[in-house]
């Protein structure tokens, strides 16, 4: 992101917090998601910027759907020229330059402490979803460090693949898969060893597509709490479709690597562009 875009995101976050605070008792607000994990993929106009707005617990008695409705009402009143809609755990505001997901949340009280975090609204089941987005940012940074800084660019490439095939897997689910597959563990903290263990870029691609199908078949806990399943949103047919697309990507990458090793870089690049899109580098 450019400095101007960074400034626009920061200004928008402050504006949203001000709007929410004008109508509701706001305790805190912070940016999170792929923006904070530095895995947001350009262009910004197609990306979602996540803003968590922590509310006073007095609003919790309205229930998850009720909280989302009152948050939507407050935002719709101020952003009349933008589309404001309820979207699962967030209120989505579609601005002319980028999209913001406003996530109402309640801090976990000290008497129910399980490592901290927030309860966010799950409108589908009208239930509370406990998680900790700040721990997700820390987890991403840890794995990125242990891989010698190679995790973040790899995740961006994988998001480009996901976008090319119309996103059968949610962005956060994709990142959790990548953390599980690429984390070499604490033993690989030294930078030189981390780079060696993580492998080269072609090796990273094949490693992900070779292992992701297996992980998509089973429960993948939220890394912040080691509970739940970040893939629970996928019904069986959609999960099968995602696995099929992972396997297709693996087969294409294997063919591309065979061509690359034999010296036919152009043919290899053409196949990789099928997988990752036209932005795939020379």
Residues sharing a CB contact under 8 Å with residue 102, sequence separation 6 or more, in sequence order: 16, 20, 51, 53, 71, 75, 90, 91, 92, 93
pLDDT of residue 217: 95
pLDDT of residue 46: 73
CA–CA gap between residue 234 and residue 170 (Å, rounded): 9
pLDDT of residue 202: 63
Contact in structure between 53 and 12 (CB atoms under 8 Å)? no
CA–CA gap between residue 142 and residue 158 (Å, rounded): 19
Return the number of other C-beta atoms located less than 10 Å from residue 91's C-beta: 29
Contact in structure between 69 and 80 (CB atoms under 8 Å)? no
CA-CA-CA-CA dihedral for 194, 200, 201, 205, to nearest 10: -90
Domains of the chain with bracketed CATH? 3-131 (3.30.460.90), 135-276 (no CATH)
pLDDT of residue 9: 86
pLDDT of residue 62: 95
Q: What are phi and psi of 20, to 5 degrees?
A: -65, -40
Contact in structure between 46 and 83 (CB atoms under 8 Å)? no
pLDDT of residue 190: 47
pLDDT of residue 155: 94
| DSSP state at residue 62 | G
117: left (phi over 0), alpha (psi -120 to 50) or beta: left
Q: Which DSSP string do the residues of 255-278 spell out, in sequence order?
A: HHHHHHHTT-HHHHHHHHHHHH-T
CA–CA gap between residue 15 and residue 21 (Å, rounded): 10
CB burial of 257-280 (b: ≥16 within 10 Å; e: otherwise) equals bebbeeeeeeebbebbebbbeeeb
State whether residue 246 is helix, strand or coil.
helix
CA-CA-CA-CA dihedral for 126, 137, 17, 85, to nearest 10: -40
CA-CA-CA-CA dihedral for 191, 195, 196, 199, to nearest 10: 170
pLDDT lower than 50: segments of the chain: 189-199
Q: Which DSSP string do the residues of 66-135 spell out, in sequence order?
A: HHHHHHHHHHHHH-TTSEEEEETTEEEEE-SS-EEEEEEEEEPPGGG-SS--EEEEETTTTEEEEE-HHH
CA-CA-CA-CA dihedral for 184, 188, 190, 192, to nearest 10: -70
Can you give the length of the chain in residues?
A: 282
């Amino acid at each position: 992101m450019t400095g101007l875009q960074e400034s626009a995101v920061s200004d928008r976050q402050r504006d949203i917090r001000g709007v929410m605070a004008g109508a509701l008792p706001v305790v805190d607000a912070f940016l999170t998601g792929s923006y904070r994990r530095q895995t947001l993929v350009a262009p910004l106009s197609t990306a979602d910027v996540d803003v968590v707005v922590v509310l006073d617990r007095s609003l919790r008695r309205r229930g998850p759907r009720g909280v989302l409705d009152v948050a939507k009402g407050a935002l719709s009143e101020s952003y009349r020229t933008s589309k404001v809609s309820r979207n699962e755990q967030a209120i989505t505001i579609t601005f002319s330059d980028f999209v913001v997901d406003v996530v109402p949340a309640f801090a976990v009280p000290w008497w129910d402490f399980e490592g901290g975090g927030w309860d966010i609204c799950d409108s589908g089941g009208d239930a509370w979803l406990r998680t900790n987005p700040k721990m997700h940012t820390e987890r991403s940074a840890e794995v990125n460090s242990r891989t010698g800084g190679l995790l973040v660019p790899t995740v961006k490439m994988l998001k480009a693949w996901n976008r090319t095939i119309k996103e059968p897997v949610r962005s956060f689910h994709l990142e959790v898969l990548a953390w599980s597959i690429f984390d070499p563990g604490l033993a690989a903290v030294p930078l030189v060893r981390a780079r060696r263990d993580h492998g080269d870029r072609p090796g990273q691609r094949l490693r992900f597509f070779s292992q992701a199908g297996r992980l998509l078949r089973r429960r993948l806990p939220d890394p912040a709490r080691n509970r739940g399943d970040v893939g629970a949103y996928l019904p069986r047919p959609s999960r099968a479709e995602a696995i099929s697309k992972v396997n297709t990507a693996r087969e294409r990458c294997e063919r591309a690597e065979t061509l690359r090793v034999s010296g036919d870089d152009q043919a290899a690049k053409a196949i990789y562009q099928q997988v990752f899109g036209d932005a795939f580098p020379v």
